[in-house]
Each structure stands twice: as C-alpha cells, then as structure tokens.
Amino acid sequence: MASTIDLGFLVREPADVYHAKAKDFLSAHALNEFRRCPLLYRRKQLGLVPDRDTTAYIVGRGAHTLILEGRQRYERAFAIGGPINPRTGQPFGSQTKAFAQWATQQSKEVLSDTHAALVEQMAAAVTEHRYAGELLAEGIAEGVVRCEYGGHRCQARVDWINPDADCGIVDLKTADELDSFEASMRAFGYLYQVAFYRALIARASGHVLPVHIIAVEKREPFRCGVWQIAPAVLDAAQRDNEEAMNDLRQCRETGDWFTRYEALRRVDRL
C-alpha cells in the first residue's frame, strides 16, 4: 500500500486573493517570464504591460474548475448561455454586441453555450481516462503553498495534489492537440513550472513528490493524455530555476533588466 502525506501545509484561498499577492511573492509563471526576458518581466511588474485575457483562457479556466473543483463550484463561478435572438430562437453568438452587453451584466465569468459544450467534452474525456481518473480520485484542488526558496518569497497555486505519495503533484493543461504536446511542455515552460511546484512543496512538507501532467484537447476528438515527468528532468529544470532566481536577485540589486539578446548571435547550421 502506498504511503500518504499530510496536506495540512496547503492554504485554501480564492484565486483573486492569491493573485493579489503576486507583487509580494514570486510564482512559477513570473519566473518563466523572467527566464524568457527580464525586461518584459520588469515592465509587467510595473504594470506597463497588461495581461491579456482571451476566450481560450476563459475556456481553460472553465475546464479547470469543472474537472478539478466539481460542478457545484463551476456553476457558481460561470454564467452559461447568453441572450436569445428573438428572430431565430437561438442564442446570440459570443462575438455579437448583444452577447457582450449580456456578459457585462453578469457577476461572474461567462461562457457561451458553444464554449460550455467544449468544457463539458473536455471534462468527460479526463473522467474517462484511466490514469487521469486515478490521479484525481483523491486530493486537494488549487491548494496554495508559500515559503522561502532561492532567496525569494515564493508562492504556487497547484492544480491538484493527491495525498497518495505515488500520485503527488498533478498539473492540468488544455491543448489544441496532443501530438505536439511534449514540444509544448518545453516551449511554454511547463516543466520549469512543475519543478517549481515540486521544490516549494518539498520545502513546505518535507516530501519530494512525483509529478504528472494531464493534457486534454480543446477540440475533436478531445483526446486526453497523462505524462509522468522523470525525476532527472525535474532536477535539471530545478537547477535552471535556481539559476534564474539568482539572476533575478542580481537584476533587483543592479537595476539592469536585460533582454537576453544583447550579445551577437551566430547561425552556423541550416
């Protein structure tokens, strides 16, 4: 029988409370931005570059909420549907003025019927996947961990932590398609993100947990896949994270927020 860990170190708080503390704590998302371009990280920190919120992000949040937090929480967090066109008897499209006016009158995020249907299909795909179902059978969704790490006050809001020590940390991603998802893990910094989670949880709990990523497609055929991330990969990503954190300390001390493209580069292969 697998051992279990005590999840009492996790903080439960609303997402807006967590995000309001971003100015005081370093997150995996912010560290990924810094690694890519320290200057952009700094400008976002100063509020000079606003974050974009696209329909794809809203659909992704809807899927996360339904899959990880359940239907009751999903229905509290999202208004679904929209106004009906009296001429056709069908809902107005999500790009219409009527839908936009309706959306502004809601006290929560909105999903059109079409986007809500996508969320339902993604949730069904995850539920039906054998390994995804096992990982999400027990645990805590959106638990927050905070601690000192690498000379910084850090925080993470982790999609799912299963107390079964063989399951551990679970990160849920939505994807256009799964065939290139392993490349996306690297392109979008997902491996650095989960390595950051693992490091913070190790400091807070005393346990180095395994890491899994669940990905589900946002379009037909809504395939779901599960990846277990090798400890050696996470160790390498953790070393890179800690190097970036050291660079961040130096940027704060010197005020030199570079772009990483200052040096002359050479192309020597086709």
Residue 1 pLDDT class (50, 70, 90 cuts): very low
* Mean pLDDT computed over 36-65: 90
- Three-state SS at 80: strand
Q: Is the pLDDT of residue 63 over 50?
A: yes
Using CA atoms, how far apart are residues 164 and 140, in angstroms rounded to an integer?
Answer: 11
Residue 95 clears pLDDT 80, i.e. is over it: no
Residue 125, Cβ neighbours under 10 Å: how many?
Answer: 20
Does residue 121 have a pLDDT over 50? yes
Look up residue 116 and give its two tokens: 């809500």
Stretch 134-163: mean pLDDT, rounded?
97
For the cut 80, the answer to whether the pLDDT of residue 265 exceeds it is yes
Strand (E) positions, the chain? 78-81, 109-112, 140-149, 152-162, 168-175, 211-217, 224-229
pTM, 2 dp: 0.91
- CATH class of residue range 15-48+120-254: alpha beta
Percent over 70 (pLDDT), the chain: 99
In the chain, where the domains are located: 15-48+120-254
Name the nearest CA neighbour of 222 among 135, 81, 126.
126
pLDDT at 260 exceeding the cut of 50: yes
DSSP, residue by residue, 119-177: HHHHHHHHHH-HHHHHHTSS-EEEEEEEEEETTEEEEEEEEEEESBTTTEEEEEEEES-
pLDDT surpasses 80 at 53: no
How much is the pLDDT for 99? Answer: 81
Q: Is the pLDDT of residue 2 over 90?
A: no
Q: Determine the average pLDDT of the residues in 74-78.
A: 94
